[in-house]
């Protein structure tokens, strides 16, 4: 007299959106453009794509942290901290390399780089806060 309940593993696009560390794309995009010697300030369409990517990442990361379990929370924190470290290292590299007389010196830090840093820092602050708020709500502890 038992009932069998089948729970499907969350596959498909929703599971991919929830598991992929999207904020690393915000760090990887300027690094890839640097390798191809593309300047976002002189070729504005690359900069506007970067802004669109940043807004998309913020929305996905915010909704991804909306309903979360312990493992997801841990990996969300891990990827946020990793992105902050990599973003800081990349911005530091751009500041040193852009002002260096030894290096190529063509990559100057501009508005788009600072926008990317704001997205990375915003994700590192908002996503764990949203996950913690959701956990309190799920446990019935929040007001």
Q: Domain segments of the chain: what residues?
A: 22-137
pLDDT of amino acid 76: 81
Mean pLDDT is lowest, of 6-10, 27-31, 120-124, for: 6-10
103 neighbors 140 (Cβ within 8 angstroms): no
Find the mean pLDDT for residues 2-12: 56
More confident residue, 138 or 83: 83
CA–CA separation, 7 vs 73, rounded Å? Answer: 22
Tell me what pLDDT residue 40 has: 86
The pLDDT tens digits for 98-142 are 655 444 555 678 888 889 989 999 888 888 888 777 777 777 765
Banded pLDDT at 7 (limits 50, 70, 90): very low
**Contact indicator for 131, 35 with CB cutoff of 8 Å:** no
């Amino acid at each position: 007299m038992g009932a069998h309940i089948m729970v499907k593993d969350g596959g498909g696009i929703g599971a991919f959106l929830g598991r992929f560390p999207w904020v690393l794309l915000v760090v990887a995009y300027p690094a890839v453009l640097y390798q191809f010697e593309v300047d976002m300030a002189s070729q504005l369409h690359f900069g506007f794509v970067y802004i669109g990517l940043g807004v998309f990442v913020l929305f996905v990361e915010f909704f991804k942290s909306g309903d979360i379990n312990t493992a997801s929370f841990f990996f969300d924190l891990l990827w946020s901290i990793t992105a902050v470290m990599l973003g800081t290292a990349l911005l530091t590299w751009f500041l040193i390399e852009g002002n260096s007389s030894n290096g190529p010196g063509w990559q100057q830090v501009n508005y788009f780089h600072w926008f990317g840093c704001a997205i990375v820092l915003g994700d590192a602050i908002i996503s764990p806060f949203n996950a913690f708020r959701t956990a309190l709500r799920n446990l019935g502890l929040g007001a």
